[in-house]
Chains A and B, each alone.
Chain A
Amino acid sequence: MGLIDQLDIEEINSVYLFANTPKYLYRHLQHIKSVQELSQHASLQNLVDEYNKITSPTTKSSEDIAIAYALLITVTFWEYQKALAAFDKFDLSRLEWGNDVKHIFKTNAPINTIVGIDMKADIPPNGLKVSGSSTSTASYEYTHNNQRGGKT
Chain B
Amino acid sequence: MITSSLMLCADRVIRDAETNNISAIGILEAITPEGLPMFIPRIMILAFLHRNKEEDPSKIKCTFRIEIGDNKLLEHELVVDFQDKERNRTIINVGGLAISTNGMLEVSLFLEERLLNQFKFIINAPRRIDVAKQEA
Q: Which A residues fall within an 8 A CB radius of B? A: 80-81, 84, 106, 108-119, 121, 128-133, 135, 137, 139, 141, 143, 145-146, 148-149, 152
Contact B92 A109 (CB under 8 A): no
User: How far is it, in angstroms, between the C-alpha of A112 and the C-alpha of B81 when the chains are bound?
Assistant: 8
**A81 lies within 8 A of B83 (CB):** yes
Residues of B contacting A81 in the complex (Cβ-Cβ under 8 angstroms): 83
Interface size class of chain B, counting residues whose CB lies under 8 Å from the partner chain: 35 or more
Residues of B within 8 A of A (CB): 15, 17-21, 37, 39, 66, 68, 71-74, 76, 78-100
B18/A112 in contact, CB under 8 A: no
List the A side residues contacting B76 at CB < 8 Å.
Answer: 115, 117, 137, 139
Other-chain contact of B88, A110, A119, A130 (Cβ < 8 Å): A110
Main secondary structure on B side of the interface with A: strand
Q: How far is the CB of A117 from chain B (nearest CB, A)?
A: 5
- Central interface residue in B21, B72, B78, by most chain A CB within 10 Å: B78
- Please determine whether B85 and A110 come into contact, CB atoms closer than 8 angstroms: yes
- Asked if B72 and A111 make an inter-chain contact with CB atoms under 8 angstroms apart, the answer reads no
Smallest distance from the beta carbon of A91 to chain B beta carbons, Å?
Answer: 22
What residues of chain A lie closer than 8 Å to B78, measured between beta carbons? 113, 115, 139, 141
B68, B87, B99: the one contacting A110 at CB < 8 Å is B87
Question: Are A137 and B93 in contact, with the CB atoms below 8 A?
Answer: no
Rounded to whole Å, the gap between the CB of A30 and the closest CB of chain B is 8
* 20 further contact pairs, Cβ within 8 A, besides A141-B79, A146-B20: A109-B20, A110-B86, A110-B89, A111-B89, A112-B20, A113-B88, A116-B93, A117-B76, A117-B95, A118-B96, A119-B96, A129-B37, A129-B100, A130-B37, A132-B66, A132-B68, A132-B73, A135-B98, A137-B76, A152-B83
Residues of chain B within 8 A of A84, CB atoms compared: 84
Give Cα A118 to B94, complex, Å: 6
Q: Which residues of B contact A112 (CB under 8 A)?
A: 15, 20, 88-91
Given contact pairs A81-B83, A141-B79, A145-B83, A132 touches B100 in the complex (Cβ within 8 A): yes
Q: Is the CB of A131 within 8 A of B100?
A: yes
